[in-house]
Amino acid sequence: MKKYKWLILIFTALICSISANAVADKCGEGYVTGLWVNWDNKNDWGVWLSDSGGSWYSKSIAYTADKQLYTDTDSGKSAYAAILAAQANGQKVELRFVGACKNKVFSVVETWSP
């Protein structure tokens, strides 16, 4: 019976992971070329992504973090740290929004190894 409990837990986690990715709409992807923090709300931040990974002048697109990812939340701190690490390591980033992506606002950060 113990084996079945673990099997059920594994399948439940797998199904939750698959369903979470299915509802997260892709907003954009690329290499981090810049970060910004809002001047009047230090918890509001965003990122510039570029397909080529060069400087931010090379057709970079700006994306804004959703309120769920403000830096005064644990999830916001984690997402911000992931973006900084991706920038430092030259990793590709994919930004998603749970629901439909509108106005280049993201609520999920995925990083990929080079």
More confident residue, 72 or 101: 72
| Residue among 102, 96, 106, 112 nearest 31 (CA) | 112
What is the mean pLDDT of the segment spanning 26-49? 91
Q: Does residue 79 surpass a pLDDT of 70?
A: yes
Contact of 20 with 12, CB cutoff 8 Å: no
Helix or strand or coil: residue 35? strand
**What are the tens digits of pLDDT across the range 40-75?**
888 999 999 998 876 666 688 999 999 999 999 999
The model's pTM is: 0.74
Q: Which domains are present in the chain?
A: 24-112 (2.40.50.70)
Q: What pLDDT score was predicted for residue 100?
A: 84
Burial of 28 (0-12, 13-18, 19+ CB in 10 A): middle
